[in-house]
A and B are shown apart, each in its own frame.
Chain A
């Protein structure tokens, strides 16, 4: 073994797996300790919640069909966007990108048999459905109305529903913190021998940065909500101005978490893109080190930009200035990533698989959303843009066009590994184009609607539409196209179900990818690796043999994409 292979590993024999193989249905599928099963549980739960949160989004769009939409009362509309935002953020995107994707891919990519604390992993999953039920139970208590940011004092008017909201998100916070802690330790301690920091796949770098934020920032969220909960239930004055409290304090506490949170969504998606682009461009990732370190730079900087959400909220001008400058600074590492990805495409041999289409779509929509972020970061411009649909447009470009899109790219990419079957490329292409077109048509017009004066969280926009008759047209346009996204996601779901039975067998390595998960059978065995592999280089050099020794399976030294991918033919036996 060479120098630098310092990370040893528990269990040099599959029987030393850090927990014994489960027996019985409950242990195997419900309270499983296996990271792959837990990932699957996260996946299903996340998708179910997405169905609910997405349906709420469509109800929002229907209400906005007319300036004085009468689909629902204003009160009901307020609960719709509140629960839509809350659920999308905490019950859909974060569980999907960290819980489902991170849990499935991360241990496999570092050559580990499981995460460091399997029991905690199970616990943090099971907190999630409880949190979800708590969140939806707010409807029984009259509904939470105050938006996903839940600013007091208005959120205090929700009474029990508000307190339940706090409890739900507090639970999600605990769950994320545990996951973050678990992933940090796993990545630091359990990499296969020889996998030094600069030999880690980029998804692992991204997961590491994410875990770091999950671990530190999320506790701040829990604290903010704990304080808000105390104010709800025991009337303890942290935020009540009449008793010396401060509403702005809550905003600080909330955004101290929630800005890092937006990078918690996006960094795993960055990781996914960094994995997919080199594989389908069939060339090494460009600028490995810069991409890896920019993830860390983003994670660290993200702790110092939170007040850009509060420019008009009553903070000192000097704070505005400081936060503006740091926020701008975050554009530079992000830009380095974007440019490196584009350079990865240059002179590649690009395979347009579904995953690659999503990844390229991501490049375009995310960049657009990032640039509008720069527009918002300018204090004077934000004085105009804050609280309008321009902000809504910005963040849907980065959350739906960025984080969700990155996740959608990951589905067809890792699905074959998880199930042993390829997904249908034909349906995949349809779902990509439907999503891409539907997405842009839904959220692009919001930019000018916002700039022209349409505030967000408006159940009716009569006054605005009176001054801007076009507004009605554009809102209807958005509503119509937003349904393409529903069709797309529905098709994707159907594709997943259909492919379990009808998909072509995937073999070990259908894409000719080079990270460790593609060296074991699909789906991976319970203990992942029969023999813990030894790593002696980065995984991205397509011109070199695979940089691993001690692999379970004999896979070709220069893995090629399977013929299924190249022409629609049955896969070569055993490959």
Chain B
């Protein structure tokens, strides 16, 4: 056993906390204060250019919470990274130091440890408090809803149902509408797999789970047209499962709703794409379309392009209209026809198609993989 040979290693330590430690700490603190003020008082889209304006009361609450978290999250990170960098520079081993040199031997500092347990805990308690306030508002804080509507997730579109309206809006091109200043409740569920309803401007999302109805409650506060995105993986077209949300004044909303009711009453439903039947579509296709289209890759033309793999063709990612290959955009072509560089595709009247025919054809076309 040779535990006695080498001499006691030499300790090198700083005077106090280290050269320039306190000025550095003050500098970090000043930086933090500046950032805190910036984050608290500058609008978020000043800091993050793409950040959208909150358009509901809850969104504003969440933004407030987010600002608070950013202030102290930034501060903590700033101190951690700041001191790591500072110690790395100040306490680096200098060339030429004897090999056995060691740093200052400290095992603990109970006071320090006490504070760095307590301060984060206090911060987290404050954060818990703030989160609970906002959480309470989200869950229980919106009074009796003036409007209750339903959102139903389908592969791959959102269906919106309004009270008093028998049918529902099936097509994604038809936006969801909400009135300003009225408390609304959105009931969310799914017809097939799990989806998620999310409009970034609302800052709220809820999963659409089959067999379960969730709700979101808030009051819209600002007008505009916004994207609705599906934020839970739901299948191949998850990333194109988009919708639109229109927030408008209560008057406009009432008018829109009345018009929808009229349409519903007149039986003029929007095209019920969900009810398409691929088998009848196939028969119909042979009859009405095969003169011009083959079920073949895009570049195998007859008159029009080949239509196999419309929805999932890396060589031809969008439709001829430049839109993403969703059911609705395909339906749009069948509805209106399209004239482009390849030639002219007849519209619905010319091809003699009913709503159901279109739905069937679309169902058939998207089933081709």
Contacts and interface: CB of A to CB of B under 8 A. Distances in A.
A70 interface: yes
A464 B2 contact: no
A490 interface: no
Interface stretch (A95-103, A123-131, A199-207, A376-384): A376-384
A342 B81 CA distance: 9
A68 B18 contact: no
A557 B209 contact: no
Contacts of B287: none
Contacts of A19: none
Given A73-B314, A375-B73, A380-B131, A157 B235 contact: yes
B314 A349 contact: no
Contact of A387 (B112, B139, B196): B196
Contact of B240 (A78, A329, A462, A563): A462
A71 B69 contact: no
A242 B62 contact: no
B318 to A, nearest CB: 7
Contacts of B351: none
B107 interface: yes
Nearest to B205: A312
A68 B204 contact: no
Interface in A268-297: 281-284, 286-290
Given A74-B236, A346-B91, A380 B62 contact: yes
A451 B48 CA distance: 9
Nearest to B209: A314
A55 interface: no
Range class of the B interface residue count: 35 or more
A227 interface: no
- Which of B49, B84, B87, B239 has the most chain A CB within a 10 Å cutoff? B239
Interface stretch (B23-31, B113-121, B262-270): B113-121
Given A284-B105, A374-B69, A73 B312 contact: yes
Interface string B310-324: 001111011000001
A303 B240 CA distance: 36
B333 interface: no
A448 interface: yes
B324 A312 contact: no
Contacts, number: 324
A476 B172 CA distance: 29
A124 B3 CA distance: 40
A342 B84 contact: yes
Contacts of A374: 69, 73, 124, 127
Given A68-B317, A349-B91, A331 B50 contact: no
Interface centre among B4, B6, B103, B227 (most CB of A within 10 A): B103
B84 A74 contact: no
B101 interface: yes
A68 B103 CA distance: 55
A463 interface: yes
B249 to A, nearest CB: 23
A253 interface: no
Interface in B322-342: 324
Report the contact-size class of chain A (Cβ under 8 Å from the partner).
Answer: 35 or more
B2 A557 contact: yes
A314 B9 CA distance: 61
A338 B100 contact: no
A375 B67 CA distance: 10
Interface stretch (A399-407, A491-499, A522-530, A540-548): A540-548
Nearest to A561: B99
Contact of B211 (A241, A313, A371): A241
A554 B138 contact: no
A558 B324 CA distance: 69
A283 B317 contact: no
A324 B106 contact: no
Contact of B91 (A339, A347, A448, A452): A347
B227 A313 contact: no
Interface stretch (A10-18, A146-154, A180-188, A254-262): A146-154
Contact of B101 (A73, A282, A317, A460): A282
B135 interface: yes
A487 interface: no
B5 A556 contact: yes
A350 B237 CA distance: 53
A463 B80 contact: no
Contacts of B4: 545, 557
A470 B58 CA distance: 27
Contact of B84 (A73, A363, A455): A363
B194 A283 contact: no
Contact of A241 (B80, B212, B232): B212
A349 B12 contact: yes
B303 interface: no
A352 interface: yes
Given A154-B193, A242-B210, A248-B209, A453 B314 contact: no
A287 B108 contact: yes
Given A68-B317, A453-B227, A247 B93 contact: no
A232 interface: no
Contacts of B76: 367, 371
B8 A543 contact: yes
A321 interface: yes
B314 A556 contact: no
Contact of A383 (B52, B62, B103, B232): B62
A388 B51 CA distance: 14
Contacts of B140: 317
A351 interface: yes
Contacts of B14: 347
Nearest to A338: B80
Contact of B231 (A74, A338, A386): A386
Interface string B187-203: 00000111010101001
B329 to A, nearest CB: 12
Interface string B65-81: 11001000100110011
B104 A367 contact: no
Given A543-B105, A556-B6, A380 B138 contact: yes
B210 A381 contact: no
Given A460-B239, A462-B240, A546 B3 contact: yes
Given A367-B81, A387-B198, A288 B113 contact: no
Interface string A54-74: 000000000000001011111
Interface in A334-362: 335-336, 338-340, 342-343, 345-352, 360
Contacts of B107: 284, 286-288
Interface in A423-475: 448-449, 451-453, 455-464, 467-468, 470-471
Contacts of B324: 68, 460, 462
B234 interface: yes
Contacts of B61: 380
Interface string B231-251: 111111111101000000000
A570 B207 CA distance: 63
A379 B210 contact: no
A345 B194 CA distance: 48
B49 A470 contact: yes
A71 B62 contact: no
A332 interface: yes
6 contacts: A314-B214, A335-B116, A347-B91, A349-B92, A467-B50, A542-B103
Given A157-B193, A363-B84, A379-B131, 20 more contacts: A70-B315, A73-B314, A78-B238, A147-B233, A151-B232, A241-B210, A248-B212, A286-B109, A312-B206, A343-B106, A348-B91, A349-B102, A352-B88, A367-B81, A371-B77, A380-B61, A381-B69, A387-B196, A452-B51, A556-B5
The 8 closest A-B pairs by CB, nearest first: A241-B211, A283-B103, A387-B231, A348-B103, A453-B200, A452-B50, A458-B239, A554-B2
